[in-house]
Amino acid sequence: MAKISNHEIVSKMHPFGITSLRWFVIGCGLLLFLSVFKFDNVLIATFAYGNFGILVSFFGFGFTKADPNVMIPEQVRLRGFLLGLMFSIGILIFKGETYQNFGIYLCFLSFFHFSEFFCTAVTNPTTLDIQSFLIDHSKEYGIGVAATLLEYFAECYFFSGLKNSNYSIGEGALTCILGELIRKGAMITLWNDFTHLLRHKKVDGHRLKTNGLYSYFRHPSYAGALFWFLGLQTILCNPICFVVYGIGISRLFAQRIYYEESCLIEFFPEYVQYQKRVPNTGVPFAYGCLDSRAKLGGKRQHRN
């Protein structure tokens, strides 16, 4: 893979990538705001800063050139700001006396969604859209977040002792970091061949990548996402969601991997040899499409 200079990365990046980064940092500015102005009531100050940021994000500053039919600056600014604000709130909670693991959870959750959008803006700007934040990409994801919070706060109330394991919090944080590094490493390795939507037809310039992380397992982006999901549950010490998510997400990814590989075998006949050379998909109980004659029907689109 040819080496890409920092100048080339910036020049080819989607302009909304910088917009999202700028407003994520502005959202994180809550910490500076609270440190400069000593408020007696941090909750009220946070509420005031958040509302002010939301208001300003609708007007913004500067001009961003982009296709308004795909997304508008206000959408990107608002999401970037709210994710940065969530990251700041997570740090504030972590510095408090209770719910420290919930604060860490908010930090990893907000950073993941921001980094998905930003990394897409850098690696494959032509596919960037507002859904690249992956915030509301599926009903199942929303239900999963709600179930996570329900278990956490219910167990905090009835079994508060379960939530005070520093070992679990540390292990979960390291697992989340590992998952993020693997997933973003996969996106960078594929570069403009990575998309959040599965491709059903081969496009010009689409190449089969077998180097980097793909020389160790065939689907590092799914593996990284699985690590990240399970790391969040470990941080919150959520035993029920850990088991349910571990089984459910592995089965979901197994289905997607099978369909994706059935397409890849059709796109690249040499993919069968790659499967033999790298037998591990990176996801438990996901073996991929091992029958070169298999081809699933339907044209459903999925977010990776």
The 8-class DSSP code of residue 193 comes to: G
- The values of phi and psi at residue 64, to 5°, are -115, 120
Q: Which of 58, 97, 64, 62 is nearest to 79 (CA)?
A: 58
Phi, psi values for residue 197, rounded to 5°: -95, 135
Check residue 88 and give its pLDDT: 92
pLDDT for residue 40: 66
Structure tokens at 17: 């990538």
Per the prediction, the chain carries an average pLDDT of 84
Give the per-residue pLDDT at 303.
Answer: 55
Q: Are 237 and 163 in contact (CB under 8 A)?
A: yes
pLDDT (tens digit, 9 = 90+) per residue, 282-294? 999 899 887 654 4
Least Cα distance to 123 among 229, 215, 221 occurs for 221
pLDDT in tens, 96-143: 878 899 999 999 999 999 999 999 999 999 889 889 999 987 888 999
Tell me what pLDDT residue 59 has. Answer: 65
- pLDDT (0 to 100) of residue 255: 92
pLDDT score recorded for residue 295: 47
DSSP structural state of residue 5 = -
Q: Are 26 and 50 in contact (CB under 8 A)?
A: no
Residues in the chain predicted with pLDDT less than 50, given as ranges, are 1-11, 61-66, 68, 293-302
